[in-house]
Chain A
């Protein structure tokens, strides 16, 4: 079925009165997501398309029994918004915002060790369980319900690979964008752990990119702990060393890890076939099923 979100998930949208918040709330509701509340400090008591707005996340959680939030708050205030969400008893917080200062995220990261709430992102497209719920900005129409889990650091690459899967009639249990920032809440390993424990997920796709060592750690986890087969894709094979390709996470360090080569060989060593093209990834998945 799914991990983390389904049609029972009761969602509060932080920053619901902003342009992005409003537009994507409509999109989420249209998709079938159970959006029960929004927040916008100073705008409590209003509503957005019939969804009640509260001044604080606490009020929204208490009044509407919300258990997940999605953050569309601008970067200067997003760190604070995530802290606010972590101070409630939400199960899941999905931070879509791009451009949160790294030191704000370091503080958030520290707080995460002290609470039970799971953070997804920031700078991520969100999470979707096809035909049930989407929290974020993913284009719902390319997804199809099925038995393959997907986890990715890049939003648009997620869409690309999902469309390659769906075109072959391969549906998804849940697709998760974990975000491309240097400090993120949920890692590849965390997501793989959830998919491994999910009975309905028969195969997993993992889309990584250059920079950092998260893919290498994921490879290690797969080799040690996973029975569910995993296929991989790594973006940035041709990226010149030392250049930053958009994401802060995409700096290639000179130390031998973080390159496409090091990630691909770590995955191959863990028995994970890595596609040269997104289409090849879908072919590998097809072979598993």
Chain B
């Protein structure tokens, strides 16, 4: 969901990138059918992990990861996981991976500390579990080291944070080396987060990246064409895919008042006011800055195609966006209908709002002067439509 969230890579994609950079990963194959899984386990041997490749956290707990120690178990796991619904996403691919006989599980990761405005490297001996819970309940269990983005992560800093985390000295240097490689990838690939949870330490003292998380900064995709191509949209719902095609910031919600506006802050405020006046928002839709008529038409198309929507409020406060362009778009979108599917309330203010009001076809929409009045009217319209 490029416009709503940081672009996410699948585990298998991130592991390919990690392996290429020299981070040890288990032997694995990608499989999209039970037969392909069976061929893969034949090659890899037992035990093997069968892991759903979908963009959700907590796959293991939700039944998306199974360990097979025999052909029978592998087939059963493949049949269970392929096609299953995992928190709203259908599993279409699994990673079949050699099981690792481990003694310890560690966590290593790099992300942006927005409070400090700098990247931060994190290491913990409490790997293999939900690291957010660890961070909340026992923040001291995670060692942190801030990184000067002009210089990158120095090897001594990587060693320091690994020592601070209390990692055994016989593997500490290897873990530090994984961490510096992770930071280099973070920088080179414009990642927003990059994590291995867990790094497994085997009884022989070898280290292996047993999982891989890599999210990319959407805003940097223009200089990461290879990563942009890896984006997997297959699992999104139709409306969200449509929003993506139109290039809108869009979030589907559970109510029945459709909301269109310009600027995230104002659209959120419109949502809050719908709630304040006793309605329920059906969506967040930001047409962005400087929208032309076509974009406005597309926005109405989006909201009309959501069958949960009973009424629409269109709230524009123009700065860089111009009221006349918005009015033109609203007219064009609505003139295409013999009968307009849901009542639309429009509130236009700011740049060229007066020009907009003059050309807005008020036979097709209701007009309110203030934000509060527009929202109240839309909430009433939704309640009426529902009776």
Say which one of A53-61, A135-143, A196-204 lies at the interface with B.
Answer: A135-143
B86 within 8 A of A: no
B239 to chain A, nearest CB (A): 14
Q: Decide: A210 and B268 in contact? CB cutoff 8 A.
A: yes
Interface 1/0 per residue, A232-246 and B, CB below 8 Å:
010111111001111
B interface bracket (residues with beta carbon within 8 Å of A): 35 or more
Say which one of B23-31, B91-99, B219-227, B230-238 lies at the interface with A.
Answer: B219-227
Q: A101-B217, A101-B220 are in contact. Are A235 and B4 (CB under 8 A)?
A: no
B326 to chain A, nearest CB (A): 13
Cα of A249 to Cα of B251 in the assembled complex, Å: 16
Secondary structure of the B contact surface, majority rule: mixed
Contacts of B251 in A (CB 8 A): 240, 243-245
Q: Decide: B272 and A110 in contact? CB cutoff 8 A.
A: no
Cα of A111 to Cα of B135 in the assembled complex, Å: 30
Q: Decide: B317 and A159 in contact? CB cutoff 8 A.
A: yes
Contact of B349 among A110, A163, A245 (CB under 8 A): A163
Cα of A140 to Cα of B219 in the assembled complex, Å: 29
Cα of A251 to Cα of B284 in the assembled complex, Å: 14
Closest residue on chain A to residue B276 by CB atoms: A276
Contact of A277 among B135, B150, B187, B372 (CB under 8 A): B372
Interface centre among B4, B117, B136, B272 (most CB of A within 10 A): B117
Contact of B4 among A98, A138, A244, A277 (CB under 8 A): A244
B273 within 8 A of A: yes
Q: Decide: B119 and A154 in contact? CB cutoff 8 A.
A: no
Q: Decide: B117 and A159 in contact? CB cutoff 8 A.
A: no
Contacts of A153 in B (CB 8 A): 265
Interface centre among B219, B273, B274 (most CB of A within 10 A): B219
Q: Decide: B350 and A142 in contact? CB cutoff 8 A.
A: yes
Cα of A210 to Cα of B317 in the assembled complex, Å: 20
Closest residue on chain B to residue A112 by CB atoms: B117
A67 within 8 A of B: no
Interface 1/0 per residue, A67-93 and B, CB below 8 Å:
000000001100000000000000000
Q: Decide: B319 and A183 in contact? CB cutoff 8 A.
A: no
Q: A109-B117, A246-B286 are in contact. Are A159 and B268 (CB under 8 A)?
A: no
Q: Decide: B149 and A103 in contact? CB cutoff 8 A.
A: yes
A42 to chain B, nearest CB (A): 21
A250 within 8 A of B: yes
Contacts of A212 in B (CB 8 A): 114-115
B112 within 8 A of A: yes
User: Which residues of B come within 8 Å of A, CB atoms?
Assistant: 4-5, 112, 114-115, 117-119, 132, 135-136, 148-150, 187, 190, 192, 217, 219-220, 222-223, 249, 251, 253, 261-269, 271-276, 281, 284, 286, 289-290, 317-320, 349-351, 370-372
User: Which residues of A come within 8 Å of B, CB atoms?
Assistant: 20, 24, 75-76, 98-107, 109-111, 125, 137-139, 142, 152-160, 163, 180, 182-183, 207, 209-210, 212-213, 233, 235-240, 243-250, 254-255, 276-279
Which are the 5 A-B pairs with shortest beta-carbon distances? Answer: A154-B265, A156-B263, A246-B264, A157-B265, A156-B266
Could you give 6 example pairs across A and B, Cβ below 8 Å? Answer: A102-B220, A109-B117, A156-B317, A160-B349, A182-B114, A238-B275
